[in-house]
Amino acid sequence: MLKKLNPRQKFTALLLVILLGGLVLSGMALSAVLRQNARRDITSTALILLETMSSVRDYTTNQINPELIQQLDEKFLPQTIPAYSAREVFELLRKNPEYRDFFYKEATLNPTNLRDKADTFEAKLVEQFRANDKLKELSGFRATASGETFYIARPLVIGKASCLQCHSTPEAAPPTVIERYGSGNGFGWHLNEIVGAKMISVPADTVIHKANQSSLLILAIVFATFIGIILLINLLLNRYVIRPLKHITRLAEEVSTGQTGVEFKQLSDDEIGSLTRAFRRMQLSLEMALRRLNRADKGREIGKDMSQEISSNSNS
């Protein structure tokens, strides 16, 4: 099939093959890089959210709780609980479209509110934090009922003695807390103990979709650029190679039919110019050869005429 194509078509076909191969290879490499970048961007956002929730917890513990703790004997006030404040603030954040795919949980081994109970996977993360107090962060992907999820977790440490007022023993806890949650959960905590993990999670599709959007955009730009380059190369190839070759071919065909008056003009000093000079030398050699043949033919005709004249004179 390639034998039937002219040089420009062959060159274009070769460039298209290179383009497709390059797009496949670069697409695979680019996808991996962009997924890593997307994961890094989402991790950065998740860490900011975790720091924000930690600040909310500290604010509740240091400023809200001391003002309202005395009222817990008469009325349960969830605003005094750091975990409650953090969840409420996070839900307000999720109303922003930028954060709606993110979820926050304080996965706790022995929570007061069973909504915060750590599942099997989360419990393993907490145990890793408890086994290594130098471990400050864990992240990765996990399978859930709703699909694969990317998570980032940090240890939840009891850093304030005031937290033990509701979590040391049922007898020390405010009656309204026992009335709301019972006395079977959320007790036996100790100061500086890791009781859970603060976790931010986001569907893995969000990471992949963000990477794919960037990949498609970059590949589209590369593809359009390469197509533009192919068109430009074809234009230059036609102007500086194909068109001069066609001109030389036409002149050579005229010379081959005996039209020796054509002129091979050298228009450049490149390979095309060298080819023009070669054809011009060939033309000159052909003209010299033709002149010799013509002279030889004329000599033979003159000799033949002289022989005939001599023979005629002798007979007379």
**pLDDT at residue 238, rounded to an integer:** 77
Which tops the pLDDT comparison, 160 or 138?
A: 138
**pLDDT at residue 7, rounded to an integer:** 67
**pLDDT at residue 90, rounded to an integer:** 92
Please determine, for residue 2, whether its predicted confidence score (pLDDT) is greater than 60: no
Ranges of beta strands (E only) in the chain are 103-108, 138-144, 147-157, 194-203
Give the span between the Cα atoms of 57 and 104, in whole angstroms.
Answer: 13
Contact criterion met (CB below 8 Å) for 175 and 166: no
**pLDDT at residue 225, rounded to an integer:** 80
**pLDDT at residue 304, rounded to an integer:** 67
Give the span between the Cα atoms of 159 and 48, in whole angstroms.
Answer: 21
Please determine, for residue 9, whether its predicted confidence score (pLDDT) is greater than 90: no
Q: Which tokens go with 303?
A: 């000799």
Contact criterion met (CB below 8 Å) for 206 and 101: yes
Which tops the pLDDT comparison, 253 or 100?
A: 100
Please determine, for residue 1, whether its predicted confidence score (pLDDT) is greater than 60: no
**What type of residue sits at position 162?**
S
Please determine, for residue 97, whether its predicted confidence score (pLDDT) is greater than 60: yes
Closest CA to 261 of 293, 241, 292, 290: 290
Q: Would you place residue 207 in the very low, low, confident or very high pLDDT band (cuts 50, 70, 90)?
A: low
Q: Mean pLDDT throughout 279-306?
A: 72
Which tops the pLDDT comparison, 129 or 176?
A: 129
pTM: 0.60
**pLDDT at residue 264, rounded to an integer:** 64
In the chain, pLDDT over 70 holds for what percent of residues? 80
At residue 191, the 3 state secondary structure works out as coil
Q: Which tokens go with 285?
A: 């050699």
pLDDT in tens, 43-70: 888 889 999 998 998 888 888 877 777 7
pLDDT in tens, 122-159: 999 999 999 998 999 999 888 888 788 889 999 999 88
Helices 7-59 and 204-237: angle between axes, nearest 10 degrees: 150
When the pLDDT of each residue in the chain is averaged and rounded to a whole number, the result is: 80
Please determine, for residue 104, whether its predicted confidence score (pLDDT) is greater than 90: yes
Q: Would you place residue 8 in the very low, low, confident or very high pLDDT band (cuts 50, 70, 90)?
A: low
Please determine, for residue 250, whether its predicted confidence score (pLDDT) is greater than 70: yes
**What type of residue sits at position 206?**
T
